[in-house]
Amino acid sequence: MPETNTTEETIFDRLGDRPQVAALVDWTLLKLDKSSDSIHLSFTATEAFTNPGGSVHGGFITAMLDECMGSAIVGLTDARFLPVTISMSTDFIKPVPVGRIFGEGRITSMGNTSAFLEARLMDQAGRPLARAIGTYRLTPFPSSPDHGSGSR
């Protein structure tokens, strides 16, 4: 999976520290693509995330997919909205290994109060590992991003 680290400033540069869950999964912005309503991220799954079978536990996989979708709303709307997950359906395609994982979140439809999104996680070769669809309530972001405070 090619790294496409963005060099242009995004809303995430003005929001301050990453929330604890984003820091835990090593949330890293690779690209914010407003032309396709998508965000590209990477995560790092550690040994502490594994289930008894040695692959990443489904709860961590679901958290990464949720981060892909929620971050898409925050990034693509310049933090006008703080997304609240209403529902989420996850498909676990292959066991997720420890290490670097790539994610993509995409807005499929968005109104004034809710949004529908899809997300997927891939390994370093771009093979699918998991996917999700989600419905999110759009609430006002709690603080102005122009002041450098707040969180995703």
How high is the pLDDT of residue 149?
Answer: 39
Q: Are strands 38-45 and 28-33 parallel, antiparallel or unpaired?
A: antiparallel
Q: How many CA atoms lie within 13 A of 53 on its CB side?
A: 8
Query: In 3D, which of 62, 66, 47, 56 has the Cα closest to residue 96?
Result: 56
> What pLDDT is stored for residue 12 in this prediction?
84
Q: What are phi and psi of 110, to 5 degrees?
A: -145, 130
Burial of 126 (C-beta count, 10 Å sphere; 0-12/13-18/19+): exposed
Helix or strand (DSSP H, E) at 58: helix 58-76
Element (H, E) at 60: helix 58-76
Token representation of residue 8? 């242009």
Q: What is the pLDDT of residues 43-79, one digit of tens each?
A: 999 999 999 999 999 999 999 999 999 999 999 999 9
Q: Which residues of the chain have pLDDT under 50?
A: 1-2, 145, 147-152
Q: What is the pLDDT of residue 148?
A: 43
Residue with tokens 């669809």: 133
